[in-house]
Amino acid sequence: MKENVVIIGGGVAGLEAARQLLSLGYMPIVVERKKSLGGHVAQWNRLFPDMTPTKDLMERLIADTAQANIFTETGIRFINRLKDGYNVMLTNGVNIYSKAVLIATGFGLFDARKKEEYGYGVYDHVITNADLEQWFNGKEDNRIPESPQSIGFVHCVGSRDVKSCNSQCSKVCCMTAVKQAIELKEKFPQAEIYCFYMDLRLFGKKYEDFYISAQKDYGIHFIRGRVSEVSERLEGRLQVKSEDTLSGKPLKVGIDLLVLMSGMVARDENSEIASMLRIQTDSDGFLKSRDNIYSIIESERPGIFFAGACTGTKTVPETVAEARAAALEIHNYLSR
Amino acid sequence: MIDFGFKINPSSTLDLDKADLTLYNKLVRMEPEARMCMACGSCSATCMSAEYSGMSVRKVLLALQRGKDVSMMLSNCMLCGKCTMVCPRGINTRHLILSLCRIYDKEGLK
Amino acid sequence: MIHQGKKVIWSDYQKEIPDDHWFYARSCIRQNFFPASEKYFLKITKELLGKAICDNEHHTTCGGIAYHSDTIPQETAMTIIARQFAIMTEAGYENLVVSCITSFGNYNETIETWREFPELEAKIRENLWKACRREFKIPKYVAHASDLIYRFRNEIAEKARYNLIDRHTGQPLKIVEHIGCHYSKMFPHKGFGGAEYPCVLSGMVESWGGQIIDYPERRHCCGYGFRQYHVKANRGYSLSNTYKKFESMEPYHPDAIITNCPGCPYFLDRWQYVISEQTGKTYGQNGYGIPVLTYEELAGLVLGYDPWDLGLQIHQVAVEPLLDKIGIEYDPEAKYLGVNKEDILRPELPTNLKCH
């Protein structure tokens, strides 16, 4: 009989780890709270830098984990630490003994309503990055006008924002904004598109190429200044204010569609998970790794491992790499 | 008119809806690379004229994108080409300035 | 605009307002600018709603204007506030209701500062004792006077004689609200509705039948800004800020402006005259301005008090167009008759702003 490994979370990290653990000869038990697998990433339409359809990645991950034991719409009721392993009680009444537990609970998406000055949920044409991906996926959204003349992207919504209790950089949003700006320019070639940024953090492979292409081929305007306030004009158009920090002057512009780049934030449930397993959360609210260089995927407790954005903001390739590393580390741990 | 001793101050806000981008759009058609500026400031830092005249290719491109006149700044360029040497985006800034001068000449603006 | 979205935010910013027993702290300038507003606040709360409000003659200015104009240090401002608290304590009250946004901001700022720095509170207590042998308790609740009117807005609506409805068209009157910077920008949770979408004034207007105008520069300062006005060299900034607001609200054709703060209605009212002299521009219909009212004045109007008893003849911008829209009866001949029915003289007329 194959040895069980409990994986909490059925997103990219959990599924990729399950895939690797299957091939290493274990029986991964994936516990997912939601109805469907794939987490936040599954809601996305295409992934940078190759514009890979998310559907392809998801189909592959789900097909490759068909042999795993997967419980959806299931949570963790409690976890007891035994002498050499963990007793995991699920909300569906199933009780599992597992020597190693992989936490792959991912991140939370910042609730853009909290930045009241941007008027998400108040003004007619303010959406988030996640809403836009849903629209790319074919979901109707009457906040998106038929032929917008101007579109704005607000970077760093709820990230790099101490006041929102999220001092961390959300890492993927700069690139997502550039990607989404290009995608919208392709759909609405007549529209002027403005990205309002504090810094452009385009660190990953081909990210800078995207940025150059957004400027040169698509004529997207990058304005260095954080949006301070959004309001609605009589005709329904938004008025967006920021500083044009490169000119050193206040700036305003009429916008027909404003996209807020909601950042990745620590899950509210992290403290609950941490206290259940008697591990720690870090100062940023994410789960605390043993160290942040060599042992990101290890907790301070034997048998408890991490993969993906539960320990900090991550890109998809970083998450995939961590999931594989965690699977291997679990195999090493169980083979001792 | 009554003199109150004070009056409505002109606003310094850049209103992008009212910015006239004719010049910038003409330049971009001739020099698509103009859009690639990332405002690093290398051109201004190395410019022979900048410290005495305020010339800056970065500022020229920004001002054009805000619909402002840049002819005064252009007239201070000595066309030495140093800015082209340092531009990390490989923009041919010297050629760009010449094209801009050509647009100004054609429009009879200068 | 998604009204429901604002309602969600409003529900996050509600505060407890005790039903009764308030100590009233007046504004230092309102009785000159809007002479009947405080009188009618007391009339409405005490006589109409039967609340116990203590109006004590021993209290003073809060020192807010001097504090914000950099002429007294914070410690002095705090000691003045401590004395107000002492008088409230001596009168046997625990709830403080403040008739001024600047004061409301200062009281909150002082209490919050003391909470963070208890040693400063101790020092102010010592200052007060040395200065006038007084002691105080920090109020249990600090409310702005408009918070009480907001709290009782539906009772006022029940007793109202008029609605904020244009009797010629049957449509709700379009009203601009201006809450004043220090109502909730410093402490969003101290104001009804928070700082971005405050509901203290819009709640009144909607209860009394009007429609609120949300225009792009709604959150912008009225233009007073203390030093911007008090220093003549800066006065252009003051005027420019007000001008910016009027330019932004103009396309909505508002019928009136309701305000929260002592300074805001003054500047929104008087600067309309200065703008009209400098640019020839007026913002109301047919050469009139947009009438600017305090919340007590607007409450007084819907309750059917005489506009001249409410002191509306003291305003720069004529209120008659608004009175006519609501259908309020008034005697044009009595406009410049004072409380003793004696002539109080007529103001000089502006060049461009129609005032009669």
C279 touches B3 (CB < 8 A): no
Domain shared by C38 and C135, yes or no: yes
Into how many domains does chain C fold? 2
Tell me if C111 is assigned to some domain.
Answer: yes
Integer Cα distance of A307 and A310 in angstroms:
7
**pTM of the full predicted structure?**
0.95
CB contact under 8 A, B35 and A249: no
Question: What band does B109 get if pLDDT is binned at 50, 70 and 90?
Answer: low
Tell me if C224 is assigned to some domain.
Answer: yes
CATH number of the CATH domain containing C59: 1.20.1050.140
Helix (H, G, I), strand (E, B) or coil at A322: helix
Q: Is the Cα dihedral C113, C116, C117, C123 positive or negative? A: positive
CB pairs under 8 A between A and B: 46
Tell me if C5 is assigned to some domain.
Answer: no
Q: How far is A123 from chain C (nearest CA, A)?
A: 5
CB contact under 8 A, C9 and A232: no
Q: Is A231 on the interface with B (CB under 8 A)?
A: no
Helix (H), strand (E) at residue C53: strand C53-55
Domain shared by C287 and C182, yes or no: yes
* DSSP secondary structure, A183-247, as one string: HHHHH-TT-EEEEEES-----STTHHHHHHHHHHTT--EEEES---EEEE-TTS-EEEEEEETTT
C238-263 per-position pLDDT tens digit: 999 999 999 999 999 999 999 999 99
CB contact under 8 A, C5 and A122: yes
Contacts of B62 in chain A (CB under 8 A): 246-247
Domain shared by C48 and C139, yes or no: yes
Domain shared by C97 and C209, yes or no: no
C171-185 per-position pLDDT tens digit: 999 999 999 999 999
Amino acid at C312: L
Domain shared by C42 and C162, yes or no: no
Residues 16-75 of B with CB under 8 A from C: none
Domain shared by C202 and C330, yes or no: yes
Instruction: Output the tens digit of pLDDT for each of chain A's 336 residues.
Output: 899 999 999 999 999 999 999 999 999 999 999 999 999 999 999 999 999 999 999 999 999 999 999 999 999 999 999 999 999 999 999 999 999 999 999 999 999 999 999 999 999 999 999 999 999 999 999 999 999 999 999 999 999 999 999 999 999 999 999 999 999 999 999 999 999 999 999 999 999 999 999 999 999 999 999 999 999 999 999 999 999 999 999 999 999 999 999 999 999 999 999 999 999 999 999 999 999 999 999 999 999 999 999 999 999 999 999 999 999 999 999 998
Q: List chains adjacent to chain A, taking adjacency as at least 3 C-beta pairs closer than 8 Å.
A: B, C
When pLDDT is averaged across residues C144-163 and rounded to a whole number, the result is 98
CB contact under 8 A, B5 and C351: no
Contacts of B15 in chain A (CB under 8 A): 251-253
Q: Which of C114, C145, C176 is the last residue of a domain?
A: C145
Domain shared by C33 and C76, yes or no: yes
Q: Is A123 on the interface with C (CB under 8 A)?
A: yes
Domain shared by C159 and C131, yes or no: no
Q: Is B12 on the interface with C (CB under 8 A)?
A: no
Shortest CA distance from B2: residue in chain C: C277
CB contact under 8 A, B14 and A251: yes
CB contact under 8 A, C8 and A113: yes
Domain shared by C160 and C138, yes or no: no
Please report, for residues A110, A133, A143, A144, A189, the alpha-carbon distance to residue A139 in angstroms, rounded to integers and kept in the order given. 21, 9, 12, 11, 21
Residues 43-62 of B with CB under 8 A from A: 58, 62
Contacts of B12 in chain A (CB under 8 A): 249-250
CB contact under 8 A, C237 and B9: yes
Omega before C139 cis (within 30°)?
Answer: no
Domain shared by C301 and C281, yes or no: yes
Within 10 Å of residue B53's Cβ, how many Cβ atoms? 15
Integer Cα distance of A109 and B83 in angstroms:
43
* DSSP secondary structure, A95-139, as one string: EEEES-EEE----EE--GGGSGGG-TTTSTTEEEHHHHHHHHTT-
Domain shared by C65 and C188, yes or no: no
CB contact under 8 A, B35 and A216: yes
Tell me if C33 is assigned to some domain.
Answer: yes
Q: Which of C124, C145, C166 is the last residue of a domain?
A: C145
Tell me if C274 is assigned to some domain.
Answer: yes
Contacts of residue C95, Cβ cutoff 8 Å, sequence gap at least 6 = C18, C21, C22, C23, C139, C140, C141, C142, C143
CATH number of the CATH domain containing C300: 3.40.50.11810
Domain shared by C35 and C119, yes or no: yes
Q: Which domain holds residue C232?
A: 153-341
